[in-house]
Amino acid sequence: MKPQTPMTHPRFWITFAALLLVAVPASAADYPVKITAARVGLPPGGKATDRDENGQAAHVAKFACWAPVYVDLDLATSVNDQAELVIEAADPDEIATTLAVPLNLAGSAVGKLAAVDVGCVGYVRPAGVGEVTITIRTKDGKALSEPFRVRSLRPRDPLTYVVLSLGGPLSGFDLPKPSGAPDAATDLRGGRVELTTISDVAQLPDRWVGYETADLVILNTAPGSDEFLRKLFGETSGATEKAKRAALLEWLRRGGRLVVTVGANAALVSQLPALRELLPLEVKGTRTPGIIRLSWPTRAASQTSTMTKDLGQKGATFPVANLLAKADRSARILMPLPDPTSPAKEIIAGQSAFGLGKVTVIGLDLDRAPFTEFPSRPEFWDWVLYEGGANRASGGDGKARPTTGSLTEDEDEAAVALRTHIDTFDGVPVVSFGWVAMLIVFYILLIGPVEYYFLKRVLGRLELTWITFPIIVLTVSLAAYFSAYSLKGRDLKINKIDLVDVDPASGRVYGTTWFTVFSPRIDTYTIGVTPGDGWGDTEPGTAVSWVGAPRGGRASLLRRKYSYHTDAASVADGLEKVPVQVWGTKSFGANWSGGFNATAPTAIVRSELLHPPGDANAVIGSFTLNLPTPVLSDCVLFYAGQAYPLPGGTVRPGEVVRPVWDKLVPAAQWLQKEGGLTELLRRAPNFSAGPGGPKPVAPQPGTAATAFGVLPPWGILFHEAALSHGEGVIPRNASLRRLDQSWRLNPDNRSEVILVGRVVTPAGSPAEEALSGPDSASRLWLRELPGSGPRTPIPGTGRQETWVRVYLPIR
């Protein structure tokens, strides 16, 4: 009898079959829910340049901007468990991130549910061309669907200008063609301007971060959008619709840009209090002229000229909204052009602030005749974009977007400079590649020719390599280890920058924080950011995420991952268990806000500024700051397009400041001369000022971050005003547009004074004192999430830079 081998023994096959049963995943039929399609980004609204794997027009997402996620579902059976949608994507370091949001499927009928039925269900922040995996599971982790992979995600680079239309598509939207472009060309600014559209309230994001991809939102109130408007702004709106309205308004308060077009539906708009209160002007019915004269500033090379055209034709009429100034008269009249000798009688367009954002209302329907037949339609739309959105950014950068629609490595230099600044640490020298290469060559020579020569020629016993080789490897490893500890140190180090906007009109403090963690060991960190003591009570809506450069590819094969914290009030208000390697760095950003009682005697800001009787251009009075910081330094005031460096440059808590308004300088002139924009941009390795211009600068190997000095923030706070008007000068702040308040420096803006100052923090302070003390507007959490328990003090050292911008209302 032949002896049995392991391959012929029955036990082998039984064991093999059992392993197969365990290893084979469940089929789709075993799950109660099937994800049949998923789309990431805002729904397309113009000419589709990209297609997904199914040949459909691809949704639009941008690098490092939160994008909504839409799914189509097929329910095989009813789902009664509490479900959640889990979205997984890689960050710029190719570490997997997961975000889980509640998904209410209880009561849903068995069968197919399209995205218009399910609505926006989640959010993802693309780090580059790669894969997004979506799964549905129960709260306790049981899978309800098999993973669905979106492999066609191609986010746009930050330089793309995205226009989102709400309520209906923008028929006839067009922009002037660049010189030399064919008349038949349909792309906008070489593909740098893209249109998106949401016509169903169900598809609107329910969190403010869902609008982050949009640079400008246009609310179309023309006939046909009635149901959309009633659902979103009506007094009888349901809880879901109210959450979507709140998300839009919160995005606007945090720096969004909104244009509202009102024509034939003026009566409906005036019946919706939530919408009426949002507008800078009162809407009182319509008038029906045959012809109206439109005059607006237009871009012509580097100069601004005025275009005047007649809209309409004799023998026909069209509806125009009656726009009237509100009681507070804080709105700026855009059209007709301001005339100091006589007030505007028939207003066509006006604008005002809403938190950090701005709202522009235009009393015309721009998606129907006669405007769609207007010969100067492209030039007028160009005015809408730069007046309602970011002025110079909407003009493009002169470079066409790649025809593939894929993400490039193009980044705005302001964001790169900021990231480089926080990623450079005091006392942590940068070892140049030349030294590393030289040491590698030395190591190869040591374990190769040198060891061979020593054993062969000196000892004459090559077999001793079994002893000498491990000794050499161990010795070099220990030398490298202790050398690194000597150079890099054993302390946790953190660099942090806070840019804080204080808005007494809304009783809110809006903070943007960037920070980099230098870890002296392999560790994980749980990240959270809240307002510091005295900077207001924490408001919901905080968003915390990674900061990095565009990068394609999948998550690391090592399957390192961390998760976003999500609750009923916020999406991604913290990060849990973020891995950082030994002597490695990881950068993060946070958008947070705090609330305060602006009428309290001890409010953060008290403004007693006012216009004297009979002179609406002058300002008298005083203001008082009660900030928790000991002193605000390098203070500059801005009013009606003028800059006024405060004498002495400091403001202390409780000090009554009475500006005398002498020695005023045009704001743009002051910013271009004193704002340090070039100094800021030179920190970016990709900075180019053209032939003969200044070159990028960076700390040399072996030097500290203080070689940079303090980050000059003016190029972030007022970027477009800090730009010169020379030929070829383009904006370089695409990722930071929402922080640019250059539009408030208009000479016609006489409703507020803007104060900007810096908090001076002593260098080399302990991390806890520097990052969470009175000189820091935000409090950093590294070991637990805010609200989960007592906060663990931060060890090590920290470098803190805080800049404060205050909007002082004028009565």
Instruction: Encode pLDDT of 92-131 as tens digits.
Output: 998 999 999 988 877 677 777 766 567 788 999 999 888 9
Which residues are within 8 A (CB) of 632 and not within 5 positions of it... i.e. 6 or more apart?
Answer: 625, 650, 651, 652, 757, 758, 759, 804
Residues 124-152: pLDDT tens digits? 999 988 899 999 998 888 899 999 999 87
What average pLDDT score do residues 200-212 get? Answer: 95
Q: Which of 47-51, 173-177, 615-619 has the lowest mean pLDDT?
A: 47-51
**Residue 394: band (very low, low, confident or very high) from pLDDT cuts 50, 70, 90:** low
**pLDDT, mean of residues 417-432:** 80
pLDDT at 139 (0 to 100): 86
The lowest-confidence range among 68-72, 262-266, 298-302 is 298-302
CA–CA dist 315, 298 (Å, integer): 29
**Residue 725 has which token pair?**
């008007």
Average pLDDT, rounded, for the chain = 85
Span 386-395, average pLDDT: 80
What percent of the chain is modeled with pLDDT above 90? 55
What integer is the mean pLDDT of 373-392?
91
Q: Quick one: average pLDDT of 56-67?
A: 89
pLDDT of amino acid 164: 96
Q: What is the pLDDT of residue 547?
A: 95
From 215-229, 446-460, 614-628, the region with the lowest mean pLDDT: 446-460
Burial class of residue 220, CB neighbours in 10 A (0-12, 13-18, 19+) = buried
Give the β-pairing of 130-138 and 148-153: antiparallel
Closest to 86 measured CA to CA, from 77, 75, 72, 97: 97
As a whole number, mean pLDDT of residues 352-367 equals 95
In 3D, which of 549, 266, 326, 577 has the Cα closest to residue 419? 549
**Rounded to two decimals, what is the model's pTM?**
0.88
Range in 182-186, 506-510, 591-595, 613-617 the model is least confident about: 182-186
575: closest CA among 542, 616, 603, 610?
A: 542
62, 157 contact by CB (below 8 A): yes
Q: 651-706, pLDDT tens digit by residue?
A: 999 999 999 998 899 999 999 999 999 899 888 886 766 544 455 555 443 333 34
Q: Which tokens in the block code for residue 152?
A: 């066609």
**In 3D, which of 67, 73, 129, 72 has the Cα closest to residue 99?**
67
Q: 428, 465, 432: which is closest to 447 by C-alpha?
A: 465
Which DSSP category does 57 fall into? B
The pLDDT value given to residue 344: 65
In this prediction, residues 204-231 reach a mean pLDDT of: 95
- The string of pLDDT tens digits covering residues 509-562 is 999 999 999 998 899 999 999 999 999 998 999 999 999 988 755 555 556 899
Two tokens, residue 38: 């998923």
Instruction: Dump pLDDT digits (tens) for 756-800.
Output: 999 988 777 889 998 988 889 999 999 999 988 899 999 999 999
Q: How far apart are CA 583 and CA 482, in angstroms?
A: 13
Mean pLDDT (whole number) for 182-194: 72
Q: Are 590 and 543 in contact (CB under 8 A)?
A: yes
DSSP line for 631-679: -BEEEEEEETTEEEEPTTS-B-TT-EE-----S-EEHHHHHHHHS-HHH
Q: What percent of the chain has pLDDT over 70?
A: 84
The residue-averaged pLDDT of 213-240 equals 93
Using pLDDT thresholds of 50, 70 and 90, give the confidence band for residue 404.
very low
In terms of pLDDT, which residue wins out, 409 or 428?
428
